[in-house]
A and B are shown apart, each in its own frame.
Chain A
């Protein structure tokens, strides 16, 4: 994809991000931060690409693998920890609905 279309993607993605969380109740600040943080681990795609495209026996394989490890630590841990927090809220709201 050429550069100017990628810039459009960047611009529209940023605008989308600004729009998405207009009104967040303070209750959710911590979980939202934690969830967004997990999503920022999307760099795992870059790490994967680096590993796949690396030449045989290139040090890039190791660098990519370490990078992938860091990213997945962020992603997997981030989603689990967010879920742990939110589980406490939803337990209450299901009780309320009954």
Chain B
């Protein structure tokens, strides 16, 4: 080993160590922000290590520098721009877009490596050229799926694409099998030296990514994004074999494995198996026929004024925020309401279901943005025993996560899903636009209970009216 090799080796080791510490730290609230910066630093370090290695050995031509600088500037500029501008409510689709671009990057570099081989492949007759081809093909396959799947996921979350009815037909499995088999055939041709089949592989795996993602319903999308995130790690690891970089392999493998775990954790929170997310199609389409468990018979609706009066008399209030709140971007208005209540000496707690919001953990981010103190956010297991001692529960845009069917009705598709026991509280107000069903398309028994009152209207509008009513009552005027 000469000097550049040693330096690069040390830098790579350090970068891997810092990346590992970064991922580790990201899973703890206290250290998360520093860990993210640490990981970013490790990435920078790895680039410095790579550039200095080539400067010290083969040198970097002026032409290469030019293309490096152009690519870096353009990519970093748009990445920074998007990351600063995007609203917090659009986080799921933003992560999907970033992820798709990561997959695109692996895809392009693999295509480039195949068409214009730059790695001096050693010794004819050895295994290495074969391994090289396999890694390139894996990188193309996984990269293309990650790219097309993530873009479809983003478009669906953004509302640009709906779930077309024909994608729920069983025949879609057949179509996807065709895409899958075509990819496999192209893959085999490619590694046996048939260069032209590279385009077939690119097209078939892109279509496969679209075909698998398109039928998946909005509620399951976060799981898919997490899975695709794991794929992009695998694509990176495969690219690591292509350019012979241990650092890339380790980092890619870590992200791939961590992504799988995270996907699993999310599935558990939603009481869904990964298989049913991927191949079951949209949940609402499945259950629409099976869930006709009757009409609502005992709906009590009430005005904002009544709601305000009850709130004023309460000692303890639990807020259950959900997807509807995120969509209405009403987290700031909600915060104003709870501030008023707190000023009146009312204890306010937020009950956060593991999958509240548009993505697990998303609700915490949104409420943190609205300045809700972290200590007031309580997780499901902590808050569930507290409902019986609670005067008022405000359900804002949440539905399936407060459905008592999940506990009581064995025939319900929701049965077994962990839910918030809001019905144990003295009074429950459900703020909702209308009587439409939640994601699952299942009737919510909570709405029929005698202690539940519906306040119909857009979450943001109702909350602003609530502020007015509370003001009239003199709540929080101190």
A: residues with CB less than 8 A from B are: 1, 3, 6, 9-18, 20-93, 95-96
Contacts and interface: CB of A to CB of B under 8 A. Distances in A.
A69 B368 contact: no
Contacts of A59: 115-116
B255 A48 contact: no
A39 B250 CA distance: 11
A76 B323 CA distance: 28
Nearest to B40: A79
Contact of A13 (B83, B91, B250, B379): B250
A88 B68 contact: no
Contacts of B249: 6, 9-10, 13
Nearest to A31: B32
A24 B253 contact: no
Contact of B248 (A42, A70, A75, A77): A42
Contacts of B401: none
A28 B254 contact: no
B197 interface: no
B109 A93 contact: no
Contacts of B226: 33
A20 B27 contact: yes
B98 A42 contact: no
Interface size bucket, B side?
35 or more
B354 interface: yes
B70 A6 contact: no
Nearest to B43: A75
Given A13-B253, A40-B232, A78 B98 contact: yes
B359 A30 contact: yes
Contact of A93 (B88, B104, B256, B374): B374
Q: In the complex, which of the residues B54, B82, B255 has the most CB atoms of chain A within 10 Å of its own CB atom?
A: B255
B257 A17 contact: yes
B2 interface: no
A58 to B, nearest CB: 6
Contacts of B40: 38, 75, 79
Interface of B: 19-20, 22-24, 26-30, 32-33, 35-37, 39-40, 43, 46-47, 50-51, 54, 58, 60-61, 63-64, 67-68, 70-72, 74-76, 78-80, 82-84, 86, 88, 91-92, 94-95, 98-99, 101-102, 104-106, 108-109, 111-113, 115-116, 118-119, 127-128, 131, 225-226, 229, 232-233, 235-237, 239-262, 265-266, 269, 352, 354-355, 359-362, 364-365, 368-369, 373-375, 377, 379
B226 to A, nearest CB: 6
Contact of A14 (B75, B253, B360): B253
Given A6-B246, A26-B354, A59-B116, A68 B258 contact: no
B53 to A, nearest CB: 10
A3 B111 CA distance: 21
A25 B378 CA distance: 11
Given A36-B258, A42-B236, A64-B108, 20 more contacts: A3-B127, A6-B240, A6-B249, A18-B261, A21-B23, A25-B379, A26-B379, A27-B29, A28-B361, A32-B27, A42-B43, A51-B67, A63-B111, A69-B74, A72-B75, A74-B98, A81-B86, A81-B95, A92-B368, A93-B374
A84 B33 CA distance: 9
Nearest to B352: A26
A53 B359 contact: no
Majority SS at the chain A contact face: helix
A21 B345 CA distance: 39
Nearest to B119: A53
A51 B112 CA distance: 10
A57 B63 contact: yes
A68 B239 CA distance: 13
13 contacts: A13-B257, A16-B257, A17-B258, A29-B265, A30-B364, A39-B255, A45-B248, A50-B118, A56-B61, A58-B116, A72-B75, A82-B36, A91-B368
B29 A28 contact: yes
A46 B109 contact: yes
Given A61-B64, A81-B94, A36 B368 contact: no
B52 to A, nearest CB: 12
Smallest CB-CB A-B distances: 6 pairs: A17-B257, A77-B79, A13-B253, A72-B75, A68-B71, A69-B75
A35 to B, nearest CB: 5
Given A42-B247, A60-B116, A71-B75, A6 B105 contact: no
Contact of B72 (A32, A54, A72, A79): A72
B37 to A, nearest CB: 7
B253 A63 contact: no
Nearest to A80: B83
Contacts of A45: 46-47, 50, 243, 245, 247-248
B50 A54 contact: no
Contacts of A29: 262, 265-266, 359-361
A49 B257 contact: no
A43 B71 CA distance: 13
B29 A51 contact: no
Contacts of B72: 68-69, 72
